[in-house]
Each structure stands twice: as structure tokens, then as C-alpha cells.
Amino acid sequence: MPHQELRICIAEDDLDAALRLDVRRGLTSEPKHLPMRLHYDGRGSALFGELTRQPEYYQTRAERAVLRDNAAAIAAFGAGPVAVVELGAGRAEKIRPVLDALAAAGRLDAFWPFDVAEGEVRDVLAELAPAYPGVRLGGIVGDFTRHLSQLPDSGSARLVAFLGGTFGNFTGPERGRFLQDLREALRPGDRFLLGADLVKDPEVILAAYNDAAGVTAEFNRNVLHVLNHRLGADFAPEHFEHVALWDGGTDTVDMRLRALKPMTVRIADLDLDVSFAAGEEIRTGISVKFHRGELETQLRAAAFAPEACWTDEDGRMGVFLAEA
């Protein structure tokens, strides 16, 4: 069994405290809001997996095609050994073509999945070990909005990947802060690989957030199940409907849960009662879509040098490579 270092930046207690603060603040605000990352407990991750297989949800398939078709090109940038870090790795499925291409070029020195879920990080390391003999495997258990300064440094050039379009779940200021934090954690010659959903026909975009099978709706309502389980709340998720709106001014999908009737919800662990008027909405997250030039401008503003952008044949998803 190879030695696999785990760097733990976050403890269960931190996560719990953050959850309580976020929920109290969000549900006592006007308008009410909840953070998007709360959706991803075991059930939420399974629902998201199901969503990625819906015909309307093009993001996952399109990005997979981009990475499959261009992995060798991505692996051809720079020279010498590379340590890959995948932010929000989950099962580390998205990055595999890039790992394989670097390995085939004899340049894969290390892989470090970075994820908030410790179990996920451990499982993925155990699963990858036999596939990448001789590659140093480690993991980071952390929050990529807070712990980027803890990126490992083995001396090899680093390639930090942030795939799946999760970057679009940040607000503008959050994107700026994230890029700056990442740039500060990197050295010249390190690289950033970013997968982003591109602006396209709003009908195509909205369909991905209103799939016919209702998986997005169930995924969105899952945040209420999470509050029931983790904070002893008594939400009746079936009394909320999923809403996804497109704002063409900011190229943003805005997700909400709309109360179907007036109700009061008790959140026992916070000793908090929350009232809803009929039709009142909870903001449950945004998903921003990008124009290539705009995103490259944001990268430059954080002192990255954009080097390449690949898209699928329909131009749906973009994968950007930038040098620190």
C-alpha cells in the first residue's frame, strides 16, 4: 500500500458551525437564501449524478468530450513533471483523461484530489492507486473558497483543475477572490485548467435546469432535506416548487425554491422559526455562463496568462488553460 498523505484543512466541527451560521443568516435575510454547496450530501450527490445523465443537462457530456479530445494537447503544455490538483474532485472522474495523457507522456508526478468530503477523498485515492503506479497520490480535505493557500508543493509544476462549471456558482466578487487566492498560491509556470459553461441560446441553458424528468427540481429541494436531517428542521419539501430563471443581463441562471402556500418552518437545532408567505422564494444558487473573452479578461485581472481555450463541437462548454 503506497503512502498517501492526507492534508486535512477542515474538521466536521468547522463544517457544522459554518452550516449553522449560513442557514441562520440566509433564512433570516430578505430575500431568503441558502448556499448552493449545501445540496451535496449523499442523496444530493446521487441526484446530481442522475442529473448529469439527463438529456437536457449537456454540461457534463460536453466537458467530458472536450477533455477527452484535447487531453494530449493539455498535457503538452510546459515541460517536466507535473503535480495535478483537482478542486472539488468528487470521484475524480472528470480529470482522468488529463491524468492519463500526462502519464502517457511520462510527466505525471503526483495527483491530489481536493474535496470537502474526507470519505470521498480517501475512496478516490484507494481507487486510483492501482491505476497510477509510481505516481504520488495525496489528498486535501478542505473548502476551495478558504484553503487554497494549503495547496501542496512537491517542487513539480502544478496543474490545478477546476472543472464541471462550478466556477459559475460563484458571484462576481467570489470569482475575483477565488482567482486571486489561487494565483497567490501558485508560482510562475504553474497552470490553471478551468471548465466553464458558455453563453448560448437561453432555451438550451434553461432546459438544463428544468429537465423533463424533474431531477433538477428534486436536487434543488434536496437542500431542504439536508436542513431536516442536519438541523432538525421540519420543512415539507413537497410544498416548495423549483424555479430556474435566466437573467440575460448578467448571463446567470438563478435557482430558487418557491413556497406553494403560507407556512412556518421550525429549525429545532437553531431554535429558529421561519415564516413563508405563499409564493415567497428562497434563493438557492446561481450558475453563471461565460463568454470566452470575458473569462479570459477575468483570468488576466488575477495575473493569469490565458494560453488556450477548447470547446466541444457545439461550443457549449469551454475548457481554459492559463499560466500563473
For ligand AVJ, the binding residues (CB under 6 A) are 51, 59, 164-166, 168-169, 209, 216, 219, 287
Nearest-CB residue to ligand AVJ? 287
Provide the minimum distance between the beta carbon of 209 and ligand AVJ in the complex, in angstroms, as a whole number.
6
Q: What's the rounded Cα separation, in Å, for the pair 63 and 189?
A: 25
Angstrom distances, CA of residue 242 to CA of 21, 82, 107: 24, 43, 46
Using only the alpha carbons of the chain, give its radius of gyration. Answer: 20
Q: Which CB atom, from 178 or from 209, has the smaller least distance to ligand AVJ?
A: 209
Q: What's the rounded Cα separation, in Å, for the pair 77 and 59?
A: 25
Grid cell, residue 270, equals 437553531
Provide the minimum distance between the beta carbon of 37 and ligand AVJ in the complex, in angstroms, as a whole number.
9
Q: Which CB atom, from 257 or from 321, has the smaller least distance to ligand AVJ?
A: 257
Provide the minimum distance between the beta carbon of 289 and ligand AVJ in the complex, in angstroms, as a whole number.
9
Q: Which CB atom, from 255 or from 265, has the smaller least distance to ligand AVJ?
A: 255
Question: Is-contact 302 184, C-beta < 8 A?
Answer: no
Q: Is the peptide bond before 113 cis (omega within 30 degrees of 0)?
A: no
Nearest by Cα to 102 from 139, 125, 76, 124: 76
Q: Which CB atom, from 139 or from 165, has the smaller least distance to ligand AVJ?
A: 165
Provide the minimum distance between the beta carbon of 149 and ligand AVJ in the complex, in angstroms, as a whole number.
23
Q: Which CB atom, from 164 or from 306, has the smaller least distance to ligand AVJ?
A: 164
Q: Which CB atom, from 138 or from 164, has the smaller least distance to ligand AVJ?
A: 164
Provide the minimum distance between the beta carbon of 204 and ligand AVJ in the complex, in angstroms, as a whole number.
13
DSSP 8-state symbol, 15: H
The runs of H, that is alpha helices, within the chain are: 12-27, 42-52, 58-75, 96-104, 118-128, 172-185, 202-208, 215-231, 292-301
